Structure 1
Amino acid sequence: MCGIALIVSGVRIDISCLSLDSTCPPRKTEDLVFSVDDLKAALRRRGPDSLGSKKVLLQSDVSGQKNISSFVEDDGALELGEDIKKLHIVQSGNECDCVSLDNGMPVSLSYNAGVQGPSAELHFIGAILQLRGIYPLFQPLVDSYGNILVYNGEIFGGINIASDNSDTEFLMQALVKCCTCDSIPDLLSMIKGPWAIIYWQVTECSRTLWFGRDAFGRRSLLVHWPTEDDPTFMLSSVSPLSPIEKTSGSYWEELSCGIYSVHVEVSSSNQGLIGEVRRHEYTNSMLKELIKWERISIEPKPEDLHASQYKSSRKQHNVHSTPLEVSPYETGSSRFSFSMPAHSLLKALKESVFRRSSLYNIYQATVSDVRQEGYVPVAVLFSGGLDSMILAALLDQCLDPCYEIDLLNVSFDGQSAPDRLSAKAGLKELKRVAPSRRWKLVEVDAELSDLAFETSHVMSLIEPANTYMDLNIGIALWLAACGDGWLSDGNSDGNDGNLARVKYKSNARIVLVGSGADEQCAGYGRHRTSHRRGSWMELNKEMKLDMQRIWKRNLGRDDRCIADNGREARFPFLDEDVIRLLLNIPLWEVADLDQPSGIGDKKILREVAQLLGLHEAAVLPKRAIQFGSRIARESNRKNFGSNRAANQASAGSVRIDRKSNLS
């Protein structure tokens, strides 16, 4: 999928029932008005297979009957798509007439409009990067009742869907069967996988707008709630480029994870159109437990911790005494006494990667005229660190051997950046454990001083995030996901100092990303600080906080930066089954921060890496992309004069001065 948007004007939206973030500064937006064309341009940049829009015209009357008629029409031509017949939907009491029109002329029309009152417009925009289904699909989808759907997501489970079906078409059919308001939250709560949705529902007695995003926020959806100076209600997967320096605060907010509805009706006071925003709880019991993020076993007894640490020391000794070319996973790992939780997690992660890399029928159509050995369907955002090495090794086990795998790596310090060095070492280790796979390390080199235009663009992508840390991460992700770099000689053994490099741009549409690994397995420095300050209970509390705010701090921003390159980010560590499994594992088996860095942090993932034969990656310390790529260092020098000055100013949390940053 690719992106969705909505603009609602003429409906007074009541948000009094929502608990909005009171810490947001007052917004003055009179100088910043986005149009349908602005939103289309932002989505078009993502390189969709199709981009289209539909407009719903709502008209109330002043006859005292509270009637509303609606008219669905093309809002500009579908790009790479085809027109859908217009529909005239009349709502009067308990009756709903649907009258199709050919060539814009009514075939039949039985409606006494009465005296016309206030009107409103709803503009739906949908862009598709098609990854599933046999036939080309065009959004927005409109059915014969006048229901409209724009959807950005994947259904990996929870609802049975055939491999040759389109997620969007399948969901539309399921939504039409939802006869009551309660059944739509039930349906959306069942979906396993990332999603964001906007759905206009027309029933015999209701016109309701539904919107929302999955419980972990793996797909971006920004919202502009109406303000006194700008009553327009807007939703969008991404913010268009804007003169944002003119505003105080952000125009957009990250929509809180959840399912929302707006029932549109005629006001009893002035006959205008009004709608109150309601928030609905997810109803799936398993999903509700994951949202709570409650772990059963947090604090170990002395004997638990002693046994766990003894097994860890045995594994470290046995692994380091084993020749590196032998994989314990392949040769009988039981002799190394790896824990059952590590084996269970390895299985769950492999299934998660498989779900996210299965080649649906649409792929076969895509590569029909291309030599399969030259087609790369899936890439990995690759630092050579623990998380990306695990994803790459598992992808090798899940993807047909005929396909190549691109490893996307970005550096702001040429061949000297830590992530570039570890990526080259990681490539060498992957070739050892998977010698038959054709691996391509895509080296994306950048100079921050040469990225003035790109920096401005990424600022709009990360919005409403607004710190230098967000910008640094956003630029690094955006460039890496672009996949436009260099390949060294594929026959290199890793010592390629004098080998020729050739220009290369990845054509993968799916990128696997390691987000969620650090939050769930105690990979951050603040986790060690919490453990030192308050032991196991404080560590668990910090990890829970990270997981419950990951939608706001990380995932929306990351999804927007990666999707801007016409690629879809997929997060195997944030699969619902993986999250549930990790919560069922005792915390001391997941991490033991009494142990040194590179051993106790993300302990269970290090065991998984050992099971995969990734011995060198299993002991690598955590390194964030902004530091591993060295963009943080270059940003500190540019914006603060030096690393030392930046550290004194706590540069990572400093808000961006947009004017000076672009000068």
Structure 2
Amino acid sequence: MCGIALVLSGGRVVVARSGAAAAAAAAAEIRPSDEGKGVTVDELKDALRRRGPDSLGCERLRVCADGTILGSDGCNCGGGDGGDVGVTELCFIGATLQVRGAEPVSQPMVAQSGSILVYNGEIYGGIHVADDQNDSQSLLSSLESCCSCDCHALVRDEACPCCGSVGKSVPQILSTIKGPWALIYWQKDSKTVWFGRDAFGRRSLLVHWPTPDDSRFILSSVSPPSFEVSNSASTVKGVESGPDNDFSESTNMSYWEEVPCGIYSFQLKGLEKNSMCMKEACVFEVRRREWIDSSLDELIQWKRKSIVPTVDNLTSQKNSVGDYHLSQSYRNSTKTDKNAAYRVLTVLRESVMLRTNLNGLFQGDLNKLKDDELAPIAILFSGGLDSMILAALLDQCLDSKWTIDLLNVSFDGQLAPDRISALAGLKELQRISPIRRWRLVEIDTALTNLKGESERVMSLIHPSNTYMDLNIGIALWLAASGDGWVDGRICNMQDGSRYKYKSTSRVLLVGSGADEQCAGYGRHRTKYRLGGWVSLDEEMRLDVQRIWKRNMGRDDRCISDHGKEARFPFLDENVIKILLEVPLWEIAKLDEPVGKGDKKILREVANLLGLKEAAVQPKRAIQFGSRIARESNRKNFGSNRAANQASAGSVEINQRAR
């Protein structure tokens, strides 16, 4: 996990969102100045360092109006001033959490060509990464082989029409990556800034567009603390609202916005010849690039072939359920079984294996784990269906000498539903894998004790700003800290006493994406009841296509603030592909009771793993299972009833405050 940022300032340059360049230039509302009234570079560094505590680096690049590069230097980015008149400054910042590769790697990475990369992500396919190599090193090497012509729209294996090069374009390289990522890349030869995030938004990236108060263009993994409230809205004239899958262009904009999933670029050359240069400034428009990978495009469209079952489909389904209690036979079996649950189980296991392979973890950290009670991998654990499946699969993928930390948060002590299910889940895991050391970390707190912590989480969830976002953010943030208590008696550790413990695991497995893909939400049942299979499919597609905006960026920022890296096995590209190949009526059967028909396919997977009790667990969102929502409702609305009447979950925090 890393924290990345770019601050572009000075040089009479304004970087504008797609479609808004002409309006911004005509309005002449934004005038470059050497003083930004917004976030400072030092504030960005402090926020990013929490995500990447192992190293912090900066690289400053200065570009003249004619495209000449004056050179670069280290961390002297100052406050983001442009410096000399007519000179544009690009300040790249990279903070690194070292969890991959054999040797430490610092960011920003500067290639021999002078190109610069700051990268936050993991590569599980598409680009070869050797066991002893870091993902960023492998990616930079691939990007350096790219064509640098202006077209940047090469068809695979065809020569560039401009220079005849057969090198791939930057979008081609990025489209092949399997795994979560966000990046900022300066391609020196073309003087192009590339940035973006993966097709499902599994890594956070925020953007600040130039405003009258702060004319800089800024990209960052996270918003610095205490900045989101005082700078929550700026106005840009002549800009109209846009769709969810593109940059929001509302007239009242937050200082920060989520960068939509995709690949973007703008060029900094020929400034004096640019047709949009005026007396006040040159306006450069950010262009969105197309994904150049047909298999990835199919996942983005999220189209399922088999949606509405026939009578024969449902009849054959009843006759082919079979015996689910096959945990040992599954492990010993070498034959291929076409049953949907087996296919999903197999691809989920591969996904967990990729994300927990200790050969891919930083060897310097592994060498420190001499004590047999230390754990390299932890799970955000509610004891529910998704986290139990991840725990059982991690047990199969991880050498039995390692302990597995199960991180569970509660705002109602032992009475919270998630604590009750976590204790039951621990017993079931101990039953199916008695040789493993399972450590349940009980993280208890009260909402009234979290004033400073709540303010910090407010900055982390930004630009999300509802009470539901805050409740989820606090619960995730506390769980990811791993700071709690362990009952040695039930965990079979130490002398059986209850002791204070803080998990040192840097990699956390999280069950995000399971509910969206397998119909786990109550609204899925409502859609099915009102509109049948087609309506259910449409709602699930909507959930997956907006998960970047509603969930992933927020969750990534909250978890990573502790120097931890969240990994999402259910959102692996191959898992998504297999789940789309399974007929919808095998994914869920929502005319059956809660705890049976919802997420039906995953309940069958749990049974295959021997998790009989987890297979019937009802769905509970973390804000309800931990009981933070109840405490928040009482604190902010007086009672649960008043909160329900006010639809508390969707109420914006700043609106309530007013």
The aligned counterpart of 1:635 is 632
1:329 to 314, 327, 330: 327
Deviates more, 1:1-10 or 1:284-293: 1-10
CA distance in 1, matches of 2:77, 2:288: 34
The aligned counterpart of 1:40 is 45
For these two proteins, the number of residue pairs brought into alignment is 594
Paired amino acid for 1:633: R
Confirm or deny that 1:654 pairs with 2:615.
no
CA distance in 2, matches of 1:232, 1:117: 15
Q: How far is 1:449 from its partner?
A: 0.2
Written as runs of structure 1 = structure 2, the 5 A alignment for 1:196-275 is 196-203=182-189, 206-249=190-233, 250-265=254-269, 266-268=271-273, 269=277, 274-275=283-284
SS of the residue 1:380 aligns to: strand
Deviates more, 1:444-453 or 1:222-231: 222-231
**Per-residue displacement from partner, 1:538-572 (whole Å, max 9, x unpaired)?**
00000000000000000000000000011100000
The aligned counterpart of 1:527 is 524
CA distance in 2, matches of 1:31, 1:19: 20
The aligned counterpart of 1:68 is 68
Q: How far is 1:371 from its partner?
A: 1.2
Deviates more, 1:43-52 or 1:291-300: 43-52
What is the aligned-residue identity percentage? 58
CA distance in 2, matches of 1:490, 1:162: 42
Paired amino acid for 2:408: N
The aligned counterpart of 2:301 is 292
CA distance in 1, matches of 2:368, 2:318: 55
The aligned counterpart of 1:187 is 173
CA RMSD of aligned residues (A): 2.6
Distance change >3 Å, CA 140–CA 33, structure 1 → 2: same
1:279 to 275, 288, 313: 288
**Per-residue displacement from partner, 1:295-333 (whole Å, max 9, x unpaired)?**
000000012123324555xx5xx66xxxxxxx5221479
SS of the residue 2:191 aligns to: strand
Confirm or deny that 1:367 pairs with 2:372.
no
Which consecutive unaligned segments of at least 5 residues does structure 1 have?
Answer: 21-26, 61-65, 79-115, 320-326
Q: How far is 1:657 from its partner?
A: 2.9
Written as runs of structure 1 = structure 2, the 5 A alignment for 1:492-571 is 500-571=497-568
Q: How far is 1:598 from its partner?
A: 0.7
Paired amino acid for 1:305: L
CA distance in 1, matches of 2:476, 2:220: 20
Q: How far is 1:76 from its partner?
A: 3.8
Deviates more, 1:381-390 or 1:135-144: 135-144
C-alpha contact (below 8 Å) 2:264/2:287 kept by paired residues: yes
Confirm or deny that 1:12 pairs with 2:21.
no
The aligned counterpart of 1:171 is 139
CA distance in 2, matches of 1:651, 1:629: 17
Q: How far is 1:245 from its partner?
A: 3.0
CA distance in 2, matches of 1:414, 1:298: 43
The aligned counterpart of 1:127 is 95
Paired amino acid for 1:238: V
Written as runs of structure 1 = structure 2, the 5 A alignment for 1:20-35 is 33-35=38-40
C-alpha contact (below 8 Å) 1:28/1:247 kept by paired residues: no
CA distance in 2, matches of 1:644, 1:40: 43
CA distance in 1, matches of 2:37, 2:400: 51
Distance change >3 Å, CA 637–CA 556, structure 1 → 2: same
Distance change >3 Å, CA 499–CA 627, structure 1 → 2: farther
Deviates more, 1:419-428 or 1:181-190: 181-190
CA distance in 1, matches of 2:221, 2:191: 23
Distance change >3 Å, CA 387–CA 28, structure 1 → 2: farther
Paired amino acid for 2:327: Y
Q: How far is 1:69 from its partner?
A: 2.8
Confirm or deny that 1:158 pairs with 2:126.
yes
CA distance in 1, matches of 2:491, 2:505: 23
The aligned counterpart of 1:577 is 574
Deviates more, 1:243-252 or 1:214-223: 243-252
Distance change >3 Å, CA 474–CA 378, structure 1 → 2: same
CA distance in 2, matches of 1:448, 1:546: 29
SS of the residue 1:376 aligns to: coil
Distance change >3 Å, CA 401–CA 19, structure 1 → 2: farther
Distance change >3 Å, CA 379–CA 369, structure 1 → 2: closer
Paired amino acid for 2:139: L
SS of the residue 1:360 aligns to: helix
SS of the residue 1:559 aligns to: helix
CA distance in 2, matches of 1:370, 1:53: 31
CA distance in 1, matches of 2:147, 2:227: 44
CA distance in 2, matches of 1:583, 1:641: 44
Which consecutive unaligned segments of at least 5 residues does structure 2 have?
Answer: 23-28, 79-83, 154-168, 234-253
Confirm or deny that 1:645 pairs with 2:650.
no
**Per-residue displacement from partner, 1:253-287 (whole Å, max 9, x unpaired)?**
11000000111121335596553211101101110
Paired amino acid for 2:533: W
Distance change >3 Å, CA 631–CA 158, structure 1 → 2: same
**Per-residue displacement from partner, 1:618-659 (whole Å, max 9, x unpaired)?**
001100000000000000000000000000000000000389
C-alpha contact (below 8 Å) 1:367/1:375 kept by paired residues: no
Q: How far is 1:247 from its partner?
A: 3.7
CA distance in 1, matches of 2:445, 2:470: 15
Distance change >3 Å, CA 424–CA 28, structure 1 → 2: farther
SS of the residue 2:15 aligns to: strand
Confirm or deny that 1:450 pairs with 2:449.
yes
Distance change >3 Å, CA 34–CA 658, structure 1 → 2: farther
Distance change >3 Å, CA 12–CA 77, structure 1 → 2: closer
The aligned counterpart of 2:312 is 303
Q: TM-score, normalised by structure 1?
A: 0.86
CA distance in 1, matches of 2:363, 2:329: 35
Distance change >3 Å, CA 404–CA 493, structure 1 → 2: closer
SS of the residue 1:139 aligns to: coil
**Per-residue displacement from partner, 1:77-120 (whole Å, max 9, x unpaired)?**
99xxxxxxxxxxxxxxxxxxxxxxxxxxxxxxxxxxxxx96111
Distance change >3 Å, CA 16–CA 190, structure 1 → 2: closer
C-alpha contact (below 8 Å) 2:439/2:491 kept by paired residues: no
Q: How far is 1:518 from its partner?
A: 0.3
Paired amino acid for 2:571: L
CA distance in 2, matches of 1:47, 1:144: 25
